Amino acid sequence: MEKKVYRELGLTDAEFERIVKTLDREPTPTETAMFSVEWSEHCGYPRSRKYLRLFPQKGKYESLVGEDAGGIVYDGKAIIFKAESHNHPSQVEPRQGAATGVGGIIRDIFTTGARPIALLDSLRFGPLDNPLNKFIFSGVIDGIQFYGNCVGVPTVGGEIYFDEAYAGNCLVNVMCVGVCERDEIARARAQGPGNSIIYAGSKTGRDGIGGCSVLASSEFAAGECEKRPTVQVGDPFTEKCLIEATLEALKTGLVVGIKDMGAAGLTCSSAEMAAAGGVGVDVDLDKVPLRETGMEPWEIMMSESQERQLLCVQRGKEQAILDIFHKWGLEAEVVGFVTEKKQVVIRSGDKIVANLPADELAKAPIYEMAFEKPKTEKPKVKKPANNSRHLLKLLADPNIASKKWVYEQYDHMVQLNTTVYPGGDATVLRLKDKDWGIAVTTDCNARYCQLDPYIGAQIAVSEAMRNLVVTGADPAAVTDCLNFANPEKPDRFYMFKSCVEGIADACKFYNLPVVSGNVSLYNESPRGPILPTPMIGMVGIVKHINQRCSAPFKEKGDLIILLGETKTWTGMPDIDLKVEAKVQKACLEAIQLGLVKSAHDLSEGGLAVALAECCILGKIGASLNLNEPVDNNSLLFGEGQSRILITISPDNIFPLSDIAMLNDVPFQILGKVGGALLSIFKKQKKLLELPVKKMSDTYYHAIPNLLTPAETGEKR
C-alpha cells in the first residue's frame, strides 16, 4: 500500500509496519481505515493512556467505572455521567459541531440504561471583538440550544471563557448526567457466541468520515475549513426516539450489550464490544441501512453518521427488539452475530473485506512521549487607580460577566427537575421519587494551569468541589475533558502530564473517583496552542433537597461571613488541599444544619466580584468593614483559594462559630446585607461603593453589547 494512503488516514510508518506484522500481510483498504480510526488519539489514546491510569477509580461512594460512561451509586440509584469534547468539528462548523457533540454525549448516557436528565457545557472561544470568533461563539450556542431543546434534555449549567489562545481552536466540552436503578445498568460488550448483532437508529451516510482520525487527531493547519466535510450532521428528533426505544428495549432483558456508534462509528462499536466481551463478531455490511448509494466498505466502517448504535441481543429474540425500534420509526436490522474466535470479520456480500484480531484493533499502542517544562512568565499584579471603576471593569469582562444571554436560550426546566438554576455556582436537580438530589458543575481556570499545570489542575478539582459544597452537596465523583495542544511537542506534553498528575493527586486526597472522561489533544492552530484546559465535571449528593443553598443575598440584616483566610495575592496560583478540605467541611456542615441562607465561593475577581454577584443576584446591597492585614488590592481582588462567602441570621452566629472552630477554619464577620449600594470600608475608610443597579446593568449587558453590531447601536 502506498504511504500516501495510510498517512492521509493518520497512520505513521511505524504503525503501518506494526499492522503488517500483526496480520502477517498487508491490510486491505477497509482494515487500514479501521486501524486508523481505532488507533487515533481521539479513540485509542496512544499518547495519553499511560497517564490516565493514575486516576483513582474508587472513592467515598460506590463507583461504576470501565464502560463508555461511569458514575456512582447512592440509595439504590446509579448516577451516570460523562464529558466529551467536540472541539475541531465546532471550529470548522460551529452549529453542527456543537449539536452533534450534545447528541453524542447523550447517547453515551442512555446506552448505559440511564435516562438523561441534564446537560452542561464548558466552552472556550477567542475574544468577541473579532467577527470570526463571534460567528463561532454564536454558532456553537445555537447548536447546543437546538439539539438540547429539541431532544428534551435540559441544559442546566456550564462555563464560558474567552481568550486569544482559543481564537484558532475553540473548545466545546459537553457533560451529560443520567439516572437509573442500580440493577438496570447495561454493559458495552458483546457476549455469547451465536447471539445476534443488531444495528439500530439512523441510516449510514458519508458524513463524519475520518472525523476522529483526520480531524480530531491532528492540529489545525492553514485551510482548516477544508475539513468541513468530516463534521457530522445531527437530528435531535431521531435521538429522542432513539432514547425511548433504547430504554424500552433494555427493559426487556433481551439485550446482552449495547454501544453508541460515536467516534469511529461501526468500527469502534463492533471492535470494542468484541474486545470487552472476549469474543469476536461477524458483520455483513450489505445489511447496514444506507442513505447514500455506492458507499465503499471502508466508508461504511468509518462513517460517523449520528443517532446510531449497536446491540448484542439474545439469539432467537431478535424480532422483539427489532419491533421496538421499528415502532419508534427507527432503522433496525440484524447485521451480524457473535463468534467464539476473537476476530472482527467484516463482509461485503460474499467478500471478506476485513478480518482482524479484536484485541489488537481495540487497543492502540502506547507511546512514551518526551516532555520538557516550558518557561512561564510570572504575572504582574497591577494596583487599580480606582477600586469602584476596577470592579465595574471586571463585571464587564466576558469571563466574569453574566452568561444569561447564553443560558436563557437553553431550556433548563424541561423534565421539571431543576431547583437551583443556572447563573450561580452549581445547579441542583431533584429526583422525583427521592427526598435527596444531585448538584452538578464544570470548572477549570486554564490561566492557572498555564502558570502552574500541577497546581492549576488541583485548583480546578477544588473549585468544582467548592461550587458543589456551596449548594449543600457532598462532592461525589469526577469526569474530565482534558484539552491540550500537540502532544508531540515536549513543552505541550509537559502541560498534559502535569495536569493529569495534579488531578490524580487531588482526587486521591479528596477521596473522589474519576469515573469517566475524554482526552482531546492537538488543539493547536497556526496562531499557537490553546491554554492547557483540563475541564473538571463533578457531581455531588444533596442529601436533603430542602436544604439546598444558593448564591443570592436573601434578607436585610443578614450577617456576611467569610470562611477561610485572605492572603497577599501575587498573581500565581497556590492551594493547600488540607485547608481547602476544612473550609468545605465547615461550610457543608453549616448548610446541612440549616444555618446558612446564601453561599458563594470566591474565584475570579476575588472578594469584590463575589460580593457584587451576590448583591446582583439577590437584588439587594451590602455594607462591609474589612480588617484583614493585607494590601487593599489583595483584599478586594485577590484570587486566593479556599474561601467561601456565606450569609446567616444574626441568631446563628454562635453555632456557626462553633463549627468553624471545631474544623479549625478562620472566619470573619464582614458586614450586613441591606440597602441599594455595595459599600466596602477598611477600618472605616471607604474602599469601594457602587449602586447595585449599576453593577447589575454592567454585569448583564456586557456580552449582549459585544454581540450587537456597533453601527446600529442596537441594545440586546
Binding-site residue set: 45, 82, 84-88, 107-108, 232, 260, 304-306, 480, 517-518, 520
Grid cell at residue 52: 490516565
- Rg for the chain, CA atoms, rounded: 26
Pairing mode, strands 155-162 and 171-181: unpaired
What is the CA angle 480-485-487, rounded to 5?
A: 95
Grid cell at residue 268: 469502534
Considering all CA atoms of the chain, what is the largest pairwise distance in Å, rounded to the nearest integer? Answer: 88
Secondary structure (3-state) at 281: strand
Alpha-carbon distance of 490 to 492, in angstroms, equals 5
Grid cell at residue 627: 480588617
Residue 371 DSSP label: -
Residues of each annotated binding site for substrate: 85-88, 107, 232, 304-306, 520
Alpha-carbon distance of 8 to 526, in angstroms, equals 20
Quick count: other Cβ atoms within 10 Å of Cβ 225?
A: 9
Alpha-carbon distance of 299 to 206, in angstroms, equals 7
Residues of each annotated binding site for Mg(2+): 84, 108, 260, 518
User: Which of the following is catalytic: 86, 390, 412, 701?
Assistant: 86
What's the one-letter identity of residue 164? Answer: E
- Residue 561, strand partner residues: 646, 669
SS3 sequence, 576-613? Answer: CHHHHHHHHHHHHHHHHCCCEEEEEECCCCHHHHHHHH
Quick count: other Cβ atoms within 10 Å of Cβ 388?
A: 18
What is each CA distance from 497 to 44, 169, 538, in whole angstroms?
17, 21, 21
Alpha-carbon distance of 289 to 304, in angstroms, equals 14
Alpha-carbon distance of 276 to 99, in angstroms, equals 29
Alpha-carbon distance of 178 to 161, in angstroms, equals 26
What's the one-letter identity of residue 676? Answer: A
Is 86 labeled as catalytic in the residue annotation?
A: yes
Give per-residue burial for 680-701: e unless 16+ CB within 10 Å, then b.
bbbeeeebbebebeebbebbbb
Alpha-carbon distance of 219 to 561, in angstroms, equals 47
Alpha-carbon distance of 61 to 475, in angstroms, equals 10
Q: Please, are residues 468 and 512 in contact by the beta-carbon 8 Å criterion?
A: no
- 654: nearest Cα among 568, 578, 571, 595: 595
Dihedral pair phi/psi, residue 664, rounded to 5°? 55, 50
Is 42 labeled as catalytic in the residue annotation?
A: yes
Alpha-carbon distance of 31 to 564, in angstroms, equals 58
Q: Please, are residues 108 and 188 in contact by the beta-carbon 8 Å criterion?
A: no
Read out DSSP for 451-462? Answer: H-HHHHHHHHHH
What residues are labeled active site? 42, 86
